[in-house]
Amino acid sequence: MSSPNESRASPDLKTAPTSPWVAFRYKTFTVVWIATVVANVGTWMYNAASGWLMTSLAADPLTVSLVQVASSLPMFLFALPAGALADTVDKRRFLIGCEIALTLVAGASAVLVEMNLVTPTVLLVFTFLLGVGAAFTAPAWQSVVPQLVPKKDLAAAVASNGVGVNISRAIGPALGGVVIGALGIAAPFWFNALSNFAVIGALLWWQPAASPGSGLPPERLGGAMVIGFRHVRYNPNLRATLVRAVAFFFFASAYWALLPLVARNQIAGGPELYGVLLGAIGVGAVVGAFTLSWMKTWLGPDRLVAAGTAGTALSLVLLGVAHQPGMGIAACLVAGMSWIAVLATINVSVQVSLPDWVRGRGLAMFVTVFFGAMTAGSALWGQLASGLSLPEAHFIAAAGAIAGILLTWPWKLQGGASIDLAPSMHWPAPILNIEAEADRGPVLVTVEYLIAPDKREAFLPAVMALGLQRRRDGAYAWDIFEDAAQSGRFVETFMVASWLEHLRQHQRVTNADRVVQDAILEFGAMAEPKVTHLIAARRE
């Protein structure tokens, strides 16, 4: 399963303390947090057991790395439609249904392992199916966090969820290794299936407050995905975050994909050692989570991610030379601390870049990029380990991570932390004299401005920023025209797919958008902008 890792933070996020304990003042958050930790312990037990089982079924490095590929590929394939669903359906009911399905799949995998019917292909298929379930729940889990805590404590919720994920990462693999030795390889698979009942129970117990709703029909899945893509394309803060994410996760995927081989072949350990190494990553991440607040204050988000990436490169080098358990554990501790520093910072950067109406889709795009990079990286490092050697694959990944810091430095993180993305609702309702069915369109909206001629050079950059907003909120075409016969007269045009989609635009405009729109009037406006709505004419 997936856990509710991040959410939108308050505008003062850059300076707000992120103590993980603050969010536990809220009973609902605490209950859901405990349930997700229990379920994630089961997930990590499964991950450790499946990776180790594959080393028994097939010793080839590429085949072993495919376990990581099968786990992360569904996130790349299905996170976007899952994000659109998270924005258009009841999240709680959706999560309950998905978690029940995950429980059934996990139970079936346990039965097959118990009966010794598992082959490499069967194991990869079940890992893929569980990954599909995680892909469909991840955006919904992340987007429900604002319903669990007030906005002022969302940064704390991000930190506490990070702690929870890494507590389960510390406990699950180590427990999985012990359980395999004591009860056999099937035991972690059973625990994974049973642990999901905790989160199902928490979701059934939770009764969220009724949402006021928009008064408009829900978006259709296909259209919601298109709008989500468009928003990401024209959201510069989100795009910058995604670039930094690719540069980190692609290279960090090396130690996740190759760790079973390091434990078994390079250090010559058993499943207990593999569990300890995975647990060390979790311990390092928990330690890192408790130091995030002061590290962020000291370094800022960009330098913190750079430091975490450098720490990851160090851990890759240490894993490349590790032939003793102590060196491997030290490398994994560094990897865990570095992982949480980068992941939490990038998660927050995504959250503060997104308004609520597109949160699920924006988070889904992040999940897609995250796991796309992990999938591609895992396949590459497995291939390099097969063609070269385990140490060389680790060293190449470490060098790539350092290069990624330098190449992506111009893209800055958390650029949206001080932006107010709450709906402004300041657009007046359009006045119509004709019938405008919801699906009628396309719709052409024009806004006429009369600007003092000497303000032209200041007006154009401002209205270009406004055009970016129109596109983020659903317009598929935008332009600004200057009247050749009348100095200072400009006509802004933008098009949306339907009348209903334009009505949704009215509800998507944020307070930050309003500031930009109001600023245009300061450029010597000689009259109030004149707005016209034109709907494509169709013969009856």
Q: pLDDT digit string (tens) for 147-179? A: 788 767 766 777 777 778 777 877 777 787 788
Task: Check: CB of residue 210 under 8 Å from CB of residue 90.
Answer: no
| Residue position matching structure tokens 């004149």 | 530
- For the chain, list the domains and their CATH numbers: 22-206+225-407 (1.20.1250.20), 443-535 (3.30.70.100)
Q: 435: Cβ–Cβ under 8 A, 6 or more apart, which residues? A: none
CA distance 380 to 88: 36
CA distance 82 to 73: 14
What sign results for the dihedral spanned by CA atoms 516, 520, 521, 523? positive
> Is residue 158 within a helix (H) or strand (E), and if so which, with residue range?
helix 154-183
Give the angle subtended at the CA of 224 by the CAs of 444 and 534, to the nearest 5°.
10
- Give the 3-state secondary structure of residue 353: coil
DSSP state of 265: I
Q: How far is CA 333 from CA 65, 248, 285, 312, 398, in A?
A: 21, 18, 8, 10, 16
Q: Which residues of the chain register pLDDT less than 70?
A: 1-20, 59, 151, 154-155, 210-215, 417-418, 420, 523-527, 539-540
* φ/ψ of residue 2, rounded to 5: -120, 160
Task: Check: CB of residue 311 under 8 Å from CB of residue 338.
Answer: yes
Task: Check: CB of residue 405 under 8 Å from CB of residue 499.
Answer: no
pLDDT score, position 10: 34
What sign results for the dihedral spanned by CA atoms 373, 375, 378, 379? negative
Q: How far is CA 456 from CA 481, 513, 519, 524, in A?
A: 12, 21, 14, 9
pLDDT score, position 214: 55
Amino acid at site 402: I
CA distance 540 to 535: 14
Nearest to 172 by CA among 39, 44, 278: 44
Task: Check: CB of residue 177 under 8 Å from CB of residue 37.
Answer: no
* Side-chain-facing half-sphere of 250: CA atoms under 13 Å: 18
Full-model pTM: 0.74
CA distance 343 to 333: 15
CA distance 285 to 269: 23
- Give the 3-state secondary structure of residue 368: helix
Neighbours of 274 (CB within 10 A): 28
Give the angle subtended at the CA of 112 by the CAs of 177 and 181, to the nearest 5°.
20
Nearest to 376 by CA among 256, 241, 253: 253
CA distance 440 to 435: 9
Neighbours of 454 (CB within 10 A): 11
CA 160 to chain centre: 16
Residue 385 exposed, middle or buried by CB count within 10 Å (0-12, 13-18, 19+): buried
Neighbours of 420 (CB within 10 A): 15
Amino acid at site 59: A
- Alpha-carbon dihedral 240, 246, 248, 253, rounded to 10 degrees: 160
What are the tokens at 361?
């889709």
- Give the 3-state secondary structure of residue 176: helix
Neighbours of 403 (CB within 10 A): 13
Beta strands in 365-507 (DSSP E): 443-450, 477-482, 489-496
- Alpha-carbon dihedral 324, 325, 326, 331, rounded to 10 degrees: 100
Q: 175: Cβ–Cβ under 8 A, 6 or more apart, which residues? A: 41, 45, 275
- Give the 3-state secondary structure of residue 490: strand
CA distance 71 to 46: 11
Instruction: Give bridge partners of residue 492 from the DSSP assignment.
Output: 447, 480
Q: How far is CA 33 from CA 169, 331, 392, 444, in A?
A: 14, 29, 40, 47
